[in-house]
Amino acid sequence: MTDTFNVKEFIVVEGRSDTQNLRRLGPVETIETGGSALNQAIIQTIKHAVATRGAIIFTDPDFNGERLRRLITQQVPGVKQAYISQGQGRAHRDNPHKSLGVEHASLSVLKKALQQAASFDQQASSDVTPVFLQELGLIGGPLAAQYRQELGVALKIGHTNGKQLYRKLQAFGIGQAEVLRVMKGIYHG
């Protein structure tokens, strides 16, 4: 690579393959959780990272990755979030239907996700309500899962179910106007 990509923060990933793929961007420091496991020693390391240089959670866009993200976010205030979609993390070789994760994402996808890493603020607020999300077809509608997937990619908040979507919109302080703006593009896209 001709230009290296520098990330000041530590990047929290699930495993060694994720670290290896991220290091193709340039010198990065990662904290590996060891897969879906999460112990107090790792939490303490992440807390120390946030206090010294900052940390970005960059887990896989699957059930275990989202579970880890939620557990870390609950225990470590001030950690940032980077997301890729399931399509961006799907392996194109081997068995593309089984293999999914940060380790398979392209360099351009990794770079963009890290550049857009956002802080998760427990104090943020939003005027979004569950009724509003239902009226837009994001909860309970026949295309709700598809709409949530597209909205999550557009807003860089990851894949969610209905309850998770509401909580993430609240936590990131994303309001009705922003959701409506993005959904217009999804409806007409």
Q: Where are the domains of the chain?
A: 10-119, 130-188
Length of the chain: 189
Structure tokens at 174: 């994303």
pLDDT digit string, tens, across residues 148-185: 989 988 887 777 888 888 888 887 778 999 999 999 99
Q: What would be the CATH architecture of the domain defined by 10-119?
A: 3-Layer(aba) Sandwich (3.40)
**Residue with the two structure tokens 């790792």:** 42
Identify whether the C-beta of residue 59 lies closer than 8 Å to the C-beta of residue 14.
yes
pLDDT digit string, tens, across residues 17-44: 999 999 998 888 899 998 777 888 899 9
Q: Which of 30, 38, 34 is nearest to 58 (CA)?
A: 30
